[in-house]
């Protein structure tokens, strides 16, 4: 059919299915406000849960890092990109989360892809929660291992899959707090079942780290489980970007030999790691931010429950408002924008068909007045 025809038709199909995705140019972003296409909005769509992306200590640390170490790492870690600040930060993360080792990755997406590619072989199986993040599911679909998905947050469904025979190794994967539903995984049950079958458990805690658990150590710490592989990311509550994998000494040694993402990709700039070190300190000392966020969540839910529409059962910063129909989700998001609030409309395939939603995210940076504005806008938009 030819390249041009192939890509044109694929785009036409996307549009026809109502799944076309638009990007919007952001001209300015503060902790709770955002300017898009020249207009200012209250931002209820970011994952900057603690408001750290704008914190002066973090910005200063990044600037000082640049002054000291320059802009880029210059090479992959296996060549000459493994800087002493990286070694130091990896150790700080490992100590903080109670693991022997931590390995830094450029992003959470890269970390999930890298782990699956490095670990899984033919005959192995990946058993994933149905709502697991695309980065892991895609990697799993491309790997020689088989992929089975279990009903969301249903340990008995996992148990049934585990009970069927497998000649190879088993990797069970779940998120800590689910990115589109905002609910927590039953991690203790998942870990118990996985261990019974000599499998390994991978938990991606992109939305839990920094926010839940004592000192912001995340969902696993909160539920007193220690998965064999813990993925944490720094683009959300940490306010920067990047990710780390926490694991045993033996697994770290293996990954350093077999993760192509670590070997053939330029290392994270040391200056960015300086910013991450500042973010870690702010997270560790961040009880006040977490309390403010918890207050905002309670404040929002108490008032939102009286509104028409169906708010999902979530006590995290992610408060999904399910509307079902794709077009209605888009129309509601547009109506909210007209009323000065920026909220993301999430449609399939990001979420299951028929469960299009507004993904409202709260931050410690919001105040009650701003949440009142959102509630008013929601009430108007849903009623209109």
Ligand X SMILES: *Cc1c(COP(=O)(O)O)cnc(C)c1O
Which positions are annotated as active-site residues? 47, 133, 175, 179, 204, 207, 236
Measured CA angle at 237 (ends 75, 43), to 5 deg: 115
Residues in contact with ligand X by CB under 6 A are: 107-109, 112, 133, 135, 175, 179, 204, 206-207, 233, 235, 241, 243
Any binding-site annotation on 84? no
Beta bridge partners of 146: 125
Q: Nearest approach, Cβ of 107 to ligand X (angstroms)? A: 3
Q: Nearest approach, Cβ of 309 to ligand X (angstroms)? A: 24
Complex with ligand X: residue 54 or 107, whichever CB lies closer:
107
Any binding-site annotation on 21? yes
Q: Nearest approach, Cβ of 147 to ligand X (angstroms)? A: 16
CA dihedral sign, ordered 295, 301, 307, 312: positive
Any binding-site annotation on 261? no
Structure tokens at 163: 């009970």
Any binding-site annotation on 89? no
Complex with ligand X: residue 133 or 292, whichever CB lies closer:
133
Complex with ligand X: residue 203 or 377, whichever CB lies closer:
203
- Rounded to whole angstroms, the maximal C-alpha distance in the chain is 60
Task: Fill in the DSSP letter of residue 39.
Answer: E
Complex with ligand X: residue 173 or 378, whichever CB lies closer:
173
Any binding-site annotation on 108? yes
195: region left, alpha or beta (phi > 0 left; psi from -120 to 50 alpha): alpha
Beta bridge partners of 204: 175, 231
Alpha-helical runs (H) found in the chain: 3-16, 56-69, 84-97, 108-119, 134-142, 155-163, 187-196, 219-222, 249-258, 260-263, 270-284, 287-304, 326-338, 368-383
Q: Nearest approach, Cβ of 106 to ligand X (angstroms)? A: 8
Axis crossing angle, helix 326-338 with helix 368-383, rounded to the nearest 10: 130
Any binding-site annotation on 60? no
Asked if residue 111 lies in contact with residue 105, where contact means CB atoms within 8 angstroms, the answer is yes
DSSP H or E stretch at residue 170: strand 170-175
Complex with ligand X: residue 350 or 373, whichever CB lies closer:
350
Helix (H, G, I), strand (E, B) or coil at 127: strand
Q: Nearest approach, Cβ of 349 to ligand X (angstroms)? A: 15
Chain position whose Cβ is nearest to ligand X: 108
Which residues does the annotation place in the binding site? 21, 108-109, 133, 179, 207, 233, 350
Which residues does the annotation place in the binding site for pyridoxal 5'-phosphate? 108-109, 179, 207, 233
Which residues does the annotation place in the binding site for substrate? 21, 133, 350
């Amino acid at each position: 059919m030819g390249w041009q025809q192939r890509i044109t038709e694929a785009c036409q199909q996307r549009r026809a299915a109502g799944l076309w995705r638009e990007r919007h140019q952001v001209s300015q972003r503060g902790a709770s406000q955002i300017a898009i296409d020249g207009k200012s909005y209250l931002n209820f769509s970011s994952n900057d849960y603690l408001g750290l992306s704008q914190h002066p200590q973090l910005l200063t640390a990044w600037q000082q890092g640049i002054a000291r170490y320059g802009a880029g790492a210059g090479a992959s870690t296996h060549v000459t990109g493994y800087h002493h600040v990286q070694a130091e930060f990896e150790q700080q993360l490992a100590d903080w989360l109670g693991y022997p080792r931590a390995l830094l990755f450029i992003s959470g997406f890269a970390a999930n892809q890298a782990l699956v590619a490095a670990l899984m072989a033919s005959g192995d199986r990946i058993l994933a929660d149905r709502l697991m993040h695309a980065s892991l599911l895609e990697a799993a679909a491309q790997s020689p291992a088989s992929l089975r998905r279990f009903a969301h947050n249903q340990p008995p469904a996992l148990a049934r899959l585990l009970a069927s025979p497998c000649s190879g190794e088993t990797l069970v994967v779940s998120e800590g707090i689910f990115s589109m539903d905002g609910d927590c995984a039953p991690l203790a049950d998942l870990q118990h079942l996985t261990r019974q079958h000599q499998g390994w458990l991978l938990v991606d805690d992109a939305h839990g780290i920094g926010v839940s658990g004592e000192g912001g150590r995340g969902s696993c710490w909160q539920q007193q489980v220690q998965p064999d592989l813990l993925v944490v990311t720094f683009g959300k509550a940490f306010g920067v970007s990047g990710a780390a994998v926490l694991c045993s000494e033996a697994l770290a040694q293996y990954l350093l030999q077999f993760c192509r993402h670590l070997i053939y990709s330029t290392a994270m700039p040391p200056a960015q790691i300086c910013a991450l070190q500042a973010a870690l300190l702010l997270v560790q000392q961040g009880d006040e931010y977490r309390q403010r966020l918890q207050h905002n969540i309670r404040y929002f839910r108490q008032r939102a429950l009286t509104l028409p529409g169906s708010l999902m059962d979530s006590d995290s910063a992610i408060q999904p408002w399910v509307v079902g129909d794709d077009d209605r989700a888009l129309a509601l998001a547009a109506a909210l924008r007209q009323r000065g609030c920026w909220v993301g409309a999430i449609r399939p395939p990001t979420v299951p068909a028929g469960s299009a939603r507004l993904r409202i995210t709260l931050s410690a940076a919001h105040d009650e007045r701003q949440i009142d504005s959102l509630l008013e806008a929601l009430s108007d938009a849903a009623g209109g």
